[in-house]
Amino acid sequence: MDVAAERRERLDALLSALPDLAVAFSGGVDSAVLLHAATGVLGPRCVGLIGDSPSLPRRELAEARALAARIGARLEVLATDELADEDYARNDGTRCYFCRRGLFTAMAAWARAQGFTALAYGEITDDLADHRPGRVAAGEFAVRAPLSEAGWSKADVRAYARAHGLAVAEKPASACLSSRLPVGTRVTRERLARVEEAEERARALGFRVLRVRDHGTRARVEVGADELARAEELADELARSLAPLGFAELELASYRRPGAEPAGSAAPPANTTSR
């Protein structure tokens, strides 16, 4: 048996030992693979739970719903109100912990009401080398991480997604809209809505990897390294598109993800241009 098959067998064994499972589902490849595998093992005793708030783009919510339907998994949308949490809204560098705490609080309440006993999220072994505040929150709520427990890496997850025809097999890493705000910038509905609209406008130009970081009157548009040259060619069009949202300056940069998603004030990548 090859290594991948051993890890799949290990995952199935972990899932089979659970009485039921509520999976934190974001629509990304890691949680999609976990939901797909768990649904295959547990059937109706598995459900996906997605937290909905102003930090989740409407596009991502719609895509997550469509993906769960294609998987054949039950999906419940939980309203989370992290903006009402001052510890989250002040955005002092610990925001991600309070985000996860809010999500797991909502998941735990749903599980108690619905008679579910086990919670899980899509942590993989690659995440173990990063600073992940969500792992701390997961420990506090006894949220399992079946993929990392079974030794699954990002390569394993993407290979599984390809093999099972999941549309997210090659989906770039994503993060909530709040991650586009620099540390110290208060998270508000208005700022999140502006970032979401800015990304929709920029995405209309066909970029596959995209972040629009809100630095007041300056928009820092980050695209894939292989898309930066094209972004520079379209810089004037991008600037005109974002100007009505209050962005008077445009900075272009290549987005690289060596580890965890930056909190919004990451050091500039090597390739940047400003106008």
Q: What is the CB neighbour count within 10 angstroms for residue 79? A: 8
Q: How confident is the model at residue 7 (pLDDT cuts 50, 70, 90)?
A: very high
* CATH number, residue 257: 3.30.70
Does residue 269 register a pLDDT over 50?
no
Domain end among 108, 128, 163: 163
Range of the domain at 199: 177-274
Q: Does one domain contain both 80 and 203?
A: no
pLDDT at 267 over 80: no
From 108, 139, 163, give the residue that closes a domain: 163
Mean pLDDT of 63-70: 98
Q: Is residue 88 part of a domain?
A: yes
Shared-domain flag, residues 155 and 197 = no
**pLDDT tens digit sequence for 38-56:** 999 999 999 999 999 999 9
185 and 105 in one domain? no
- Average confidence (pLDDT) over 27-36: 97
Confidence of residue 256 (pLDDT cuts 50, 70, 90): confident
Residues 138 and 226 both lie in one domain: no
Let me know: does 84 contact 188? Beta carbons within 8 Å. Answer: no
Considering the domain architecture, whether residues 92 and 120 belong to the same structural domain is answered as yes
Report, as an integer, the average pLDDT of 173-179: 92
Same domain, 106 and 185: no
- Residue 87 domain-assigned (yes or no): yes
pLDDT of residue 130: 79
For residue range 183-199, list pLDDT tens digits in order: 999 999 999 999 999 99
Residue ranges with strand state E in the chain: 21-24, 46-52, 74-79, 119-120, 210-215, 218-224, 249-255, 272-274
**Is residue 109 over pLDDT 50?**
yes
Q: According to the model, what pLDDT value does residue 268 have?
A: 44
Alpha-carbon span 253 to 228, nearest angstrom: 7
Number of domains present in the structure of the chain:
2
Considering the domain architecture, whether residues 38 and 92 belong to the same structural domain is answered as yes
What pLDDT sits at residue 134?
Answer: 84
Percent of the chain with pLDDT over 90: 87
Q: Does 184 lie in the same domain as 116?
A: no
pLDDT surpasses 60 at 82: yes
